[in-house]
Amino acid sequence: MHNYHVPTNALGRSHAPLAFVEQLLSTPDRLLFASSSLEEARSMVSRVMKPHRIFQMDRSERLDARMHHLALGEISISRLRYGAKVEIDCDPLDGCFLIQMPIGGSANISIGKHELGSTGDVASVLSPSDAAHMQWSQDMDQLIMRVSRNLLERTLVGHLGHQLEEPLKFEHSFAWRSSPAWRCLLSYLMECAVQYPDLAQHKLVLPQIEQLTTSILLATHQHNYSETAPARRNTILPRHVRRVQDYIHAHAHEQIAPDQLAAIAGVSLRSLYSGFKEFLGVSPMQYLRDLRMENVRTELVNGEATNVAGVALRWGFCHLGRFSTEYKQRYGETPRQTLRRA
């Protein structure tokens, strides 16, 4: 089994938690693939991230691609390297954000007119509308966090207390190593994964991990709502709203009725709707519908579905015409187009 080299740097002991993260993501049980085939690597990475185009810049170099992967609900953390200089083109991500954190090596990244040199201290952040052109050095080795757009924007709506006027968009450069909160989050996630290998099966725990991750990202990295003051209210979700939110995440694949959610919350239906509208900006049933739509999107993008009708029906979308229209409005393409790219 190939062992990754964990680089040292001038920050010395302050990077100890990151070394812990890097080692955990190098364990055999987290290995998604190891290959000397560029096409196989492209196919496997596309399943987790996004369909893309990749070219080897120097054919004399031996490709040694490998990826470790940890999925935690609507977020995931991967470790990826190619072992050779590569050039990568990817279209807009649509349904997710990517935070690419170099452990070793470097990358030159073009996002529209923005040029970014990504090194050990500087991460690149791709928002859903960003198309990117990247050149990775031979020794490029990255931690990559993928976060669902729906999850991040739901969290932001909860913090602000109102709907977003424009899509969330982050600054492209992130000084990730100099952010104690971000580094502690990564270590915490990895420690949870080691202590509880079946963590992804705990449907009531995952929403709390997702909320923690998105809240820290929104607080530590600059975005187009960083200077927007929240509505004048307590931004901590009331217990009855949180209880129903957790239940929806755990049972999104089941039949759920509004009065059932009110009973779980222990409040009247009117109070439940009022709480969701005030703190999350949507009704409980719209929240459920948004989550189911995101789950459909994830299955289509990751190649888990064989046809659109099957996955749509599985997540409760019985009117396929209406579903396709709503899907295209949300993601800018039809479900069939997403499936064909998987």
- 90-147 pLDDT per residue, tens: 999 888 999 999 999 999 999 988 999 998 889 999 999 999 999 999 999 999 999 9
Give the position of tokens 């994830």. 298
Dihedral of the alpha carbons of 300, 301, 303, 304, in degrees to the nearest 10: -50
Nearest to 65 by CA among 48, 49, 82, 80: 82
Binned at pLDDT 50, 70 and 90, residue 13 comes out as very low
Tens-place pLDDT, residues 281-303:
788 998 999 889 888 888 887 77
Which residue(s) pair with 133 in the sheet?
A: 89, 110
Q: Where are the domains of the chain?
A: 12-220, 239-341
Per-residue pLDDT, 294: 85
Measured CA to CA, the distance from residue 241 to residue 281 in angstroms comes to 12
Binned at pLDDT 50, 70 and 90, residue 10 comes out as very low
Residues 6+ apart with CB under 8 A from 76: 48, 69, 70, 145, 146
Lowest mean pLDDT among 13-27, 67-81, 247-261: 13-27
Q: Which CATH class is domain 239-341?
A: mainly alpha
Binned at pLDDT 50, 70 and 90, residue 4 comes out as very low
Measured CA to CA, the distance from residue 297 to residue 339 in angstroms comes to 9
**What fold, for 12-220?**
Jelly Rolls (2.60.120)
Angle at 125 between CA 122 and CA 127, to 5 degrees: 170
Measured CA to CA, the distance from residue 173 to residue 222 in angstroms comes to 9
DSSP 8-state class, residue 57 = S
CA 274 centroid distance within chain: 29
Burial 247-261 (b: 16+ CB within 10 A, else e): bbbeebeeebeeeeb
DSSP 8-state class, residue 13 = G
